[in-house]
Chain A
Amino acid sequence: MNIQTIVTGETYELLVAGRIDGEGAHHLEEAVLKSMRAGAKSIYVNLASATFICSAGLRVLLQYWRQMKNSQRLLLATRPSPEVDAVLVTSGFRDMLVEKV
């Protein structure tokens, strides 16, 4: 899995490519934390090139979605690939986590 970070002011976009498995979830968490520590007001996790997400990956998104929300900041997933979208729909977290376009 590969994560590329694009910074525009206080908005961070994390472009995630590949499988978000257990190890990928750990890398995703590190990338999110790094963005938060750098002062990100908004973090968008772009999942267009993510081919898989496991429950540990979902947990990372949920945990930091909640933390950011509690500090009046924002974390959302964007453009989930069909494979990832199916997991988000099944788990019931799509409405909560995915940016409404």
Chain B
Amino acid sequence: MLPIREAEAGGPAYGGSGVAASLLEAQGAGTRALAWPLTAMRREIFARGEVLFKVGEPADKMFYVIRGAIRLPELNLRIPAGQIIGEMGVLSPLKERTASAVCEEDLEVYTMDRQQVVELFRKDPVLALELVQTSIKRFIENAKAEAEGLERTRSELRIAHDIQTSMLPHRFPAHADRTDFETYALMEPAKEVGGDFYDFFTVGKHTLYALVGDASGKGISAALFMAIAKALLKSEAQRGFPPHRVLSRVNHLLCPDNERCMFVTAFCVRLDTQTGLVECANAGHNPPIRVFQEGTAAFQETPPGVALGIQSDAKYSCRKFKLRCGDGLFLYTDGVTEAANPQQQLFSERRLLACVAERCRQPLEVLLRGVRAEVAGHALQEPQSDDITMLGLRYQGGGATFPKGARSRSPRATWPARPGGHYRGRK
């Protein structure tokens, strides 16, 4: 802070009262010294921790700091002695505080109310102009700081997105050395990070596990819960437990200390790649679609089970069935079926089943990307509101008669429709 005596020598008089103005430099005024008419201003004392004003409150005066310091918590800025504060609110057409101000130390300030500021424009236009320039400069600096903060957050979210993506199998074909099964999956979060996940991995030589899940909510909170749930599910599956035991054990681990009632829906599949036997269990998740080599598809019923993380004593059951060579499973999250168009009509399970049936003899990547394209075509310009995840699994063991991939493009296949609830794709 510069001494007041210097102001007496060079500062302009103000207020018609023989003012001894101080020559003090306001923040942002550059090298030019400003003279504030302190005797026309009101001296006020505040104790450390006192709130000068809160964001959104009416801005009735500005402050010139003589001693102490002020913190602006929303902007993470410190205003030391020799600077002005609160001028933006006074000059703003909204006439309200743009940030809160708290005394970081015991504070001595001189205040100037709105009427005095108006008077300043008449009596000392040079000082008034400096005040406006200071305010504009500070506004620009604040905007720049906010933009930088936003960019930092975006950058961190991009990193989080990359970490989350790298947690999921994303190199395809994922099991290029295997001819007895094929997998493909995709996940598109609605935000930078999401709560959806999928996974597939072999345990031993002849067991394949596949998982799809959806943590409650969206964004960072969902992503954190998703990461925990996915790691636990994989860990328990790798111990070789059947799907219903995997879900039960993970549920038991997730329930304690879950005060915010986060939950995750999950579908767990275990495939014996020698026999085609599938065991699957459901924890509050959408039913999978079973795809048949003949070119039909149907929802696979599974015993109901509650989503993971809420009821520690929840019970889960297994459903067993056999896949034949060329049969498969299509797992997905509700972001697919609940994708809304501008009229808020949902994509629906019925339409998903039809889409899958139409493509069920195509390579899995083509099938999944085709369904994704149909969902996008339904949603049009409506923003994606939920994470979209799909996982395809096709069994090719048990005496496969077609080399991998060839059967998918066979134009000579004309398959009979299966009875009872199966959807036959258009030819």
A residues whose Cβ falls under 8 Å from a Cβ of B: 19, 21-22, 51-52, 54-56, 58-59, 62-63, 66, 87, 89-93, 96
B residues near A59, Cβ cutoff 8 Å: 216-217, 260-263
The answer, yes or no, to whether B306 is at the interface (CB within 8 Å) is yes
The answer, yes or no, to whether B21 is at the interface (CB within 8 Å) is no
A residues near B287, Cβ cutoff 8 Å: 90
The answer, yes or no, to whether B218 is at the interface (CB within 8 Å) is yes
B344 to chain A, nearest CB (A): 7
A34 to chain B, nearest CB (A): 19
Binding stretch for chain A, among B278-286, B321-329, B362-370: B278-286
The interface residues of chain A, by DSSP majority, are classed as helix
Task: With a 10 A CB-CB cut-off, give which of B214, B305, B306 has the most chain A CB atoms.
Answer: B306
B238 to chain A, nearest CB (A): 25
Contact of A55 among B216, B260, B304, B306 (CB under 8 A): B216
B residues near A66, Cβ cutoff 8 Å: 261
A25 to chain B, nearest CB (A): 8
* Contact sample, A vs B, 17 pairs, CB 8 Å cutoff: A19-B344, A52-B344, A58-B263, A59-B261, A59-B262, A59-B263, A62-B261, A62-B263, A63-B261, A66-B261, A90-B285, A90-B286, A90-B287, A91-B263, A91-B306, A92-B305, A96-B306
Binary CB contact string for chain B from 281 to 309 against chain A (1 if under 8 A, 0 otherwise): 00111110000000000000000111100
Known: A52-B338, A63-B260, A66-B261. A93 touches B216 (CB 8 A): no
A-B contact number at CB 8 A = 63
- The reply to whether A90 and B284 form a contact with Cβ atoms under 8 Å apart is yes
B222 to chain A, nearest CB (A): 8
Q: Which residue of A lies closest to B314 (CB)?
A: A92
Give Cα A62 to B346, complex, Å: 25
B residues near A96, Cβ cutoff 8 Å: 306, 310-311
A88 to chain B, nearest CB (A): 10
- The reply to whether A54 and B284 form a contact with Cβ atoms under 8 Å apart is no
- The reply to whether B284 and A91 form a contact with Cβ atoms under 8 Å apart is yes
Give Cα A62 to B260, complex, Å: 9
Given contacts A59-B217, A93-B307, could you give 15 more A-B pairs where the C-beta distance is less than 8 Å? A51-B344, A52-B344, A55-B214, A55-B263, A56-B218, A59-B263, A63-B260, A87-B334, A89-B304, A90-B265, A90-B286, A92-B304, A92-B314, A93-B306, A96-B310
A45 to chain B, nearest CB (A): 15
Q: Which residue of A lies closest to B216 (CB)?
A: A55
Q: Which residue of A lies closest to B346 (CB)?
A: A52
A residues near B386, Cβ cutoff 8 Å: 54
- The reply to whether B283 and A92 form a contact with Cβ atoms under 8 Å apart is yes
A residues near B307, Cβ cutoff 8 Å: 91-93
Q: Which residue of B lies closest to A59 (CB)?
A: B216
Binary CB contact string for chain B from 248 to 284 against chain A (1 if under 8 A, 0 otherwise): 0000000000001111010000000000000000011
The answer, yes or no, to whether B385 is at the interface (CB within 8 Å) is yes
Task: With a 10 A CB-CB cut-off, give which of B261, B283, B346 has the most chain A CB atoms.
Answer: B261
B156 to chain A, nearest CB (A): 21
Contact of B216 among A19, A51, A52, A56 (CB under 8 A): A56
Give Cα A63 to B258, complex, Å: 10
Q: Which 6 A/B pairs are nearest by Cβ-Cβ distance?
A: A92-B306, A55-B216, A63-B261, A91-B284, A62-B261, A92-B284
B residues near A89, Cβ cutoff 8 Å: 304
Give Cα A92 to B311, complex, Å: 10
B356 to chain A, nearest CB (A): 18
Binary CB contact string for chain B from 200 to 226 against chain A (1 if under 8 A, 0 otherwise): 000000000000001111100000000
B314 to chain A, nearest CB (A): 8
Q: Which residue of A lies closest to B310 (CB)?
A: A62
B343 to chain A, nearest CB (A): 12
B408 to chain A, nearest CB (A): 31
Q: Which residue of B lies closest to A56 (CB)?
A: B217
Give Cα A54 to B214, complex, Å: 11
A residues near B263, Cβ cutoff 8 Å: 55, 58-59, 62, 91
- The reply to whether B262 and A22 form a contact with Cβ atoms under 8 Å apart is no
Give Cα A96 to B284, complex, Å: 13
A residues near B285, Cβ cutoff 8 Å: 90
